[in-house]
Amino acid sequence: MKKVFVKSYGCQMNVYDAERMADMLAGEGYAETKAMEEADLVILNTCHIREKAAEKVYSELGRVRELKEEREAQGHETKIVVAGCVAQAEGKEILRRQSAVDVVVGPQNYHRLPDLLKRPRAERIVDTEFPIEDKFDHLPAPTKAKTLSRGVSAFLTIQEGCDKFCTFCVVPYTRGAEVSRPVAKILDEAMRLADAGVRELTVIGQNVNAFHGEAADGSVWSLGRLLHRLAEIPGIVRLRYTTSHPRDMDEELIAAHRDLPALMPYLHLPVQSGSDRILDLMNRKHTGDEYRRLIERIRQARPDIALSSDFIVGFPGETDQDFEDTMRLVADIGFASTFSFKYSPRPGTPAAEHDVQVPEPVKVERLARLQNLLETQRQAFNLGTVGQTLDVLLEKPGRHPGQINGKSPYLQPVQIESEAVKIGEVVTVRITGKSSNSLFGELIGHGGREAA
C-alpha cells in the first residue's frame, strides 16, 4: 500500500482540509503515515497569512527535496504536493523556486488531487482556478474508525472564504469569496461524526458567523439557528464556533449563548486593535467602543463567557497613542487567551503599500508589552478557575498511567487522575491547582452538568 504524509500549517480550516485530503487519498489506496521518510506522497498544506509562515514552506520543501532524492536513490518514487494558501497565492512561483515539487493545488481544488496525481511526472501542474463545482460534493467521508482516531472533538467547515477585505489580510485572495455550505450537508456530516463517537463539534469558517446556509425548504439559516439544530443531534454535548467577526455577532447568535447549554462559554472574537483610527485603516468597520459594547451584551447573555482575541501591533501608521489605545482596550475587557502578532506586509494587500511602515524594533517592543499584559490576564483567568467545579470533556490519555486529559468549558486543558472514567465522557471535576498551561482537577462525578 502506498503512503501519504500530510503536514498542515496555519488555521483550523487547513487542519480540516488536511483530513479531507487524507480521506480522499485513502480511497486511492494511500494509507496515512506520520513519518515523512516512508511517504510516497508528501503534501504540505500551507499558510500565507504572515511572511514567516509562507517562508517556512520553502525551507521545509528543501528538506522534502533531500528526502525525495534519497528515496529515489533507493528506487522509490516520491511525489510532492504543495496545497493550501501559499499554493493559491504563489502558484507557478513555487514550481520555479523548488524544482522537486510535482503539483501545486489551491484550497478550493484539492478534491481534484486523485486526477492530478495520475498525470505523467514530467507534467508539473498548478491548479488554482476557483472551480465552478463544490469541492465538498467530491470529498468522501472517512470510516468510523478513522473519525474516532482523530479524537472526540472535531472540526466541521460550514463556511469558507471572506468578503471583508481587511487591508492587512490575504484570506479574501487565497480562499476567495464567502460561501456557506447548505444546511442539509452540514447536518449529514455532523450526524456522521456524532455516530462515530464525536462529542464536541467546532464549526469553522474564515468568517463563521457570517454563515447564511440554505436549508431544504429554501430558507436561509444563520449561525445561531444552525447551532440550535446541531445541539439536537444525539451524542453532541458541546458546540463551539470559530473564527467570528465582531460585525457579524447578531442577536440570534448572542441569544444562543444564553439559551443553549451545549454552546460553550468561550468566544474567539478578533479585535486586532483598540485604536479607532487604526481600526478604520484596517477596514474592520467598527470602533473600539462598539467592540466594548458588543462584549457587554455578550456578557449579559452569558456572564461566565471566556473571551479570546487576535491582535496586530505595528500596523502601518500606528502611533504610540494608537498602541496605548490597544493596551487600554485589553485592560478594559480582560481576555482569557489570545493570539498577537507583529504586522507583516503581505503582497497584494492595500496596507503593504502604505508609506508609513512601523520600524521593526518598535513592533518588537510593542508586541512584548502587549503580550506581557495578555499573559497576566491569561494566568489570572486560569487562577480564577482554581477551586471551581467544572465540567470536563475527556479527550486523551495523559502521560502517565491513570492520568487522563480533557478540556474545561473555557477550553483550558485539564488533567485528572482516575481509572474509572473513559475518553469521550463529560465528568464533573473540582479544579485543585494549575501549572502555566493546564489545570489539575479531581473527579467529583460522572455525567457533568452541562449535558443535563
Nearer to ligand SAH, 323 or 343 (CB): 343
Distance CA 427, CA 450 (A): 10
Residue closer to ligand SAH (CB basis): 326 or 382 = 326
Bridge partners of 79, per DSSP, are 41
Using the rule CB under 6 A, which residue among 250, 252, 290, 310 binds ligand SAH? 310
In whole angstroms, what separates CA 370 from the centre of its chain?
A: 23
| 140-179 footprint of ligand SF4 as x/- string (CB under 6 A) | ----------------------x-xxx--x-xx-------
**SS3 at position 125:** strand
Contact of residue 310 among ligand F3S, ligand SAH, ligand SF4, none (CB under 5-8 Å per partner type): ligand SAH
For residue 360, what are the CA distances in angstroms to 79, 194, 272, 354, 367? 39, 47, 18, 15, 10
Cα three-residue angle 6-393-294, rounded to 5 degrees: 90
The piece of 165-173, 218-226, 408-416, 423-431 that touches ligand SAH (CB under 6 A) is 165-173
CB of 349 to ligand SAH, least distance (A): 7
- Per DSSP, the residues of 153-204 read EEEEE-EE------TT--HHHHT-S-EEPPHHHHHHHHHHHHHTT--EEEEE
Residue 14 interacting partner from ligand SF4, ligand SAH, ligand F3S, none (CB closer than 5 to 8 Å by kind) = ligand F3S
Q: Smaller CB distance to ligand SF4: residue 50 or 302? A: 50
> With respect to ligand F3S, which residue has the nearer C-beta, 176 or 316?
176
What burial class does residue 40 get, using C-beta atoms within 10 Å of its C-beta: 0-12 exposed, 13-18 middle, 19+ buried?
A: middle
> What is the distance between the alpha carbons of residues 15 and 150, in angstroms, rounded to a whole number?
11
Compute the least distance from the CB of residue 276 to ligand SF4, in Å: 17
Q: From the CB of 247, what's the least distance to ligand F3S, in Å?
A: 19
Q: Which stretch binds ligand SAH (CB under 6 A): 153-161, 164-172, 211-219, 402-410?
A: 164-172
Q: Which does 378 bind (CB under 5 to 8 A by kind): ligand SAH, ligand SF4, ligand F3S, none?
A: none
| Binding site partner of 165, from ligand F3S, ligand SAH, ligand SF4, none, Cβ cut-off 5-8 A by kind | ligand SF4
DSSP state of 324: H
* CA–CA distance, 236 with 156 (Å, rounded to integer): 13
For position 175 contacting ligand F3S by CB under 6 A, the verdict is yes
| Residues constituting the chain | 452
- Among positions 341, 363, 416, 450, the unique one binding ligand SAH when judged by CB under 6 A: 341
Residue 82 contacts ligand F3S per CB under 6 A:
no
Q: Which residue is nearest to ligand F3S (CB)?
A: 10
Torsion of CA 255, 259, 260, 263, to 10 degrees: 50
Per rule CB under 6 A, is residue 207 in the interface with ligand SF4?
yes
Q: Based on CB atoms, which residue is closest to ligand F3S, 48 or 363?
A: 48
The closest alpha carbon to 25, from 103, 93, 128, belongs to: 103
The binding site for ligand SF4 (CB under 6 A) comprises 162, 164-166, 169, 171-172, 206-207, 245
